[in-house]
């Protein structure tokens, strides 16, 4: 039946109500007979659901997967009593013991077999021959429900030599629409789905492991495991319930993609820089938790042609562009909601409304320019109007640039934290903007340069100055000789002549009584 996305289970289950029962079932230690074990287990269980839960919990925590027996099946007994007494088995034994315990408890239970996408499954493979896995269906509240105690109990390592108990709630009464993702029963009626899936559908469909659903993720597109690139690009998107953080790896690195976070999910565009088959992994974690990222999806990307123009600078960090995450950090109402900013003349301007008490630092990075630490910042000018910040950007040349944005609380003495980045692209090879003038600590956040914006002034010329500054007594432009600026309507204006000097400084008297000037800006002068 259809999955309404409200629950991962096929019936309403309140796990908190099971806490006492679960704790009791874990402690039961009876090995002499299956009947005896069930009798003791059911002492705390009233309803059929509770009986099934007690049996499930006990098996998941007391029977380990027999990795040795798996490789030597002829020596292996899957009889319930043998499974109980050795405490180990393969899926056949788990499902058989489950079925017998339910039958003793008076609950209808079936042992099912079929194909599974479990250990050793290769993406996109076909299934032929005998079934490779066993699980159960139980009858509760007037209908059938599915569960897999083998997968509920833990996991086997990659070399299939070691089993680790790691309880997985997901496989208890899993909704059939989710169970079909990695269990294909021999008899299609036991899919408990209408319409049922064909084996071909099952083979082609994307494998969502249980982490995918446990993290509150809902759907992923495309739904098939193999993606063909179109003109060198492939796209993946994930929808989820709540704010979730994502990362990805294409052949082990996150360089060849653009990932953006959305309020309910993420979107990823991949541009492989080599043809052939590439493994793509998507990882996720809840936004609040300090937990690590877990792998939630794997695709194979088949790339026929490479889009060389989409070679990203190595400084580009995923995710790219603004999102709910950057909003939480105090960057509101971005002028550019998209991750990529295209500029034709090499200039652009990005604005935000800033949260309270935030100080911002921004820098520009590119693979093919030798910008020093200082120059990376000098191609960006910050302009503040109340709680609005504008980042004016003048690119030094054409190409792909990363605009990195850092922030800290003004009241914090510490370092700036990296928040997010944009990709800025410019194809116009004529572009060659000089840096903005250098500013000193006395240049206040809400001051503004109207002209000259270029940090490099022409030689032997009269240059017009217009600056917006307040709370100042006098302003001087110091070239070969000093040129005072005059104040009118909040602006300081005037001209200076650049002949005979290599540098020009703007200096201020903060107070009419002060005898000394503070440097606020420095311009270079072109050599003749």
What is the DSSP code (8-state) at residue 505? E
Catalytic annotation on 183?
A: no
The CA distance from 134 to 99, in Å, is: 11
Say which residues have a Cβ less than 8 Å from residue 382's Cβ, sequence separation at least 6: 360, 362, 389, 390, 391, 392, 445
Cα dihedral sign for 458, 463, 464, 467? positive
Of the CA atoms within 13 Å of residue 327, those in its CB half-sphere come to: 11
Placement of tokens 């509240």 in the chain: 141
Q: Choose the catalytic residue: 66, 148, 254, 269.
A: 148
What is the DSSP code (8-state) at residue 197? P
DSSP letter for each residue of 34-89: HHHHHHHHGGG--SHHHHHHHHHHHHHHH-EE-HHHHH-GGG----HHHHHHHSEE
Q: Choose the catalytic residue: 61, 62, 133, 394.
A: 133
DSSP letter for each residue of 328-395: HTTEES-S--SSEEE-SSSEEEEEEEE-TTEEEEEEEE-TT----HHHHHHTEEEEEETTEEEEEEE-
Partners of 358 in the β-ladder:
409
Placement of tokens 């990795």 in the chain: 67
Q: Choose the catalytic residue: 60, 91, 426, 496.
A: 91
Burial state string for 31-55 with b = 16 or more CB within 10 A and e = fewer than 16: eeebeebbebbbebbeebbbbbbbb
Give the residue among 190, 207, 195 at the shortest CA–CA distance from 148: 190
Catalytic annotation on 82?
A: no
- Are the beta carbons of 456 and 524 closer than 8 angstroms? yes
Say which residues have a Cβ less than 8 Å from residue 139's Cβ, sequence separation at least 6: 107, 108, 109, 145
Tokens coding 221: 């597109």
CB atoms < 10 A from the CB of 230, how many? 10
The CA distance from 498 to 6, in Å, is: 71
What is the DSSP code (8-state) at residue 103? H
Catalytic annotation on 91?
A: yes
Length of the chain (residues): 528
- Are the beta carbons of 271 and 316 closer than 8 angstroms? no
Angle at 63 between CA 24 and CA 116, to 5 degrees: 120
- Where on the phi/psi map is residue 106: left (φ > 0), alpha (ψ -120 to 50), or beta? left
Rounded to 5 degrees, φ, ψ at 400 are -100, 130
DSSP letter for each residue of 236-300: EEEEESS-EEEEEEETTBS-SEEEEEETTEEEEEE--SSSEEEEEEEEEEESS--PPPEEEEEEE
- Residues forming the active site: 91, 133, 148
């Amino acid at each position: 039946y259809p999955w309404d996305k409200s629950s991962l289970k096929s019936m309403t289950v309140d796990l908190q109500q099971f806490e006492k029962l679960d704790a009791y079932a874990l402690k039961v230690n009876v090995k002499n007979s299956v009947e005896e074990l069930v009798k003791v287990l059911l002492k705390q269980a009233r309803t059929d659901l509770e009986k099934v839960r007690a049996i499930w919990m006990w098996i998941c925590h007391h029977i380990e997967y027999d990795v040795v027996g798996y490789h030597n099946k002829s020596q292996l007994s899957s009889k319930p009593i043998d499974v109980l007494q050795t405490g180990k088995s393969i899926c056949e034994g788990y499902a058989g013991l489950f079925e017998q315990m339910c039958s003793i408890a008076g609950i209808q239970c079936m042992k099912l077999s079929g194909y599974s996408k479990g250990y050793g499954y290769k993406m996109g493979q076909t299934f032929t021959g005998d079934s490779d896995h066993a699980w159960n269906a139980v009858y509760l509240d007037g209908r059938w429900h599915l569960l897999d105690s083998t997968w509920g109990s833990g996991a086997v390592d990659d070399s299939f030599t070691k089993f680790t108990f790691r309880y997985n709630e997901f496989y208890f009464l899993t909704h059939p629409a989710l169970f079909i993702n990695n269990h294909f029963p021999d008899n299609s009626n036991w899919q408990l789905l209408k319409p049922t899936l064909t084996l071909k559908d099952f083979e082609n469909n994307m494998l969502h492991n249980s982490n995918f659903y446990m993290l509150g993720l809902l759907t992923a597109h495309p739904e098939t495991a193999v993606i063909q690139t179109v003109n060198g690009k492939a796209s993946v998107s994930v929808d989820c319930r709540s704010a979730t953080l994502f990362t990805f790896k294409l052949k082990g690195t996150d360089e060849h993609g653009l990932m953006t976070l959305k309020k309910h999910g993420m979107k990823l565009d991949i541009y492989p820089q080599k043809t052939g088959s590439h493994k793509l992994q998507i990882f996720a974690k809840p936004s609040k938790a300090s937990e690590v990222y877990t792998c939630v999806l794997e695709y194979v990307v088949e790339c026929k042609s490479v889009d060389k123009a989409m070679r990203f600078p190595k400084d580009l960090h995923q995710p790219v562009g603004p999102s709910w995450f950057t909003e939480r950090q105090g960057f509101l109402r971005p002028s550019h909601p998209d991750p990529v900013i295209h500029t034709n003349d090499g200039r652009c301007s990005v604005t935000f409304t800033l949260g309270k008490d935030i100080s911002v630092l921004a820098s520009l990075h590119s693979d093919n320019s030798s910008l020093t630490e200082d120059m990376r910042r000098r191609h960006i000018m910050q302009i503040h109007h109340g709680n609005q910040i504008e980042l004016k950007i003048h690119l030094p040349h054409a190409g792909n640039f990363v605009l990195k944005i850092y922030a800290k609380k003004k009241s914090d003495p510490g370092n700036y934290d990296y928040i997010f980045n944009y990709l800025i692209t410019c194809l116009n090879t004529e572009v060659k903007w000089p840096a903005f003038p250098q500013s000193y600590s006395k240049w206040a956040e809400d001051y503004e340069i109207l002209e000259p914006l270029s940090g490099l002034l022409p030689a032997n010329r009269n240059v017009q100055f217009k600056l917006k500054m307040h709370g100042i007594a006098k302003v001087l432009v110091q070239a070969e000789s000093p040129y005072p600026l005059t104040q009118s309507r909040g602006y300081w204006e005037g001209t200076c002549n650049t002949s005979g000097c290599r540098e020009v400084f703007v200096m201020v008297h903060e107070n009419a009584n002060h005898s000394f000037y503070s440097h606020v800006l420095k311009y270079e002068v072109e050599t003749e």
